[in-house]
Amino acid sequence: MSERGREPTAPFGVAEVSGPSMYPTLRQGDQLLVHYGARVRPGDVAVLRHPLQQDLLIVKRLVERRGGGWWVLGDNPGAEGDSRVFGAVPPELLLGRVCGRFRPRRPDQRSAAAVASWVLTAVRPVLCDRSVSRRLRAR
């Protein structure tokens, strides 16, 4: 995940998804609108600093507060790199809540039907999903 051109005091910023851990909610190349410093709750998708490599930003779903930190999981059960590997993420590493995503148009989307489909699905809110949070906890 990469963050582009964010002023340190700006409440909103844009980040780009890299990797499959949040599929199908987020895909490689999706642009995210991030509300930095926003209040979060279980089920939210958030941007965090990786607890073992703090110069790396990650995007995960917040499952629950555990032992002074957030237990986070990706929506893709086959992908690794979440709290199952590094444990709870300290709250000071939580940067912000993902509010929405923009899916850029692929170069192969040239037909009228493909463009129309993209127009209808390109911009979406990323909502809190507490049911996903409960399912993920059961893993």
Q: What is the tens place of the pLDDT at every residue in 87-107?
A: 999 999 999 999 999 988 777
> Is the Cβ–Cβ distance between 24 and 15 less than 8 Å?
no
Of the candidates 88, 26, 32, the residue with the CA atom closest to the CA atom of residue 62: 88
DSSP H stretches of helix in the chain: 83-86, 112-121, 130-137
Q: Would you say residue 135 has pLDDT above 80? A: no
Q: How far is CA 23 from CA 10, 52, 91, 135, in A?
A: 28, 23, 24, 15
Q: Residues 67, 91, 41, 30: is their CA dihedral positive or negative? A: negative
Q: Would you say residue 132 has pLDDT above 70? A: no
Three-class SS state of 57: strand
Q: Hey, what are 122's tokens?
A: 């390109």
Q: What ranges make up the beta strands (E) of the chain?
A: 2-4, 12-16, 31-36, 45-50, 53-66, 69-73, 94-102, 123-125
Q: What is the tens place of the pLDDT at every residue in 44-100?
A: 999 999 999 999 999 999 999 988 899 999 999 888 899 999 999 999 999 999 999
Q: Give the residue-averaged pLDDT of 114-131.
A: 82
Question: What's residue 18's pLDDT?
Answer: 93
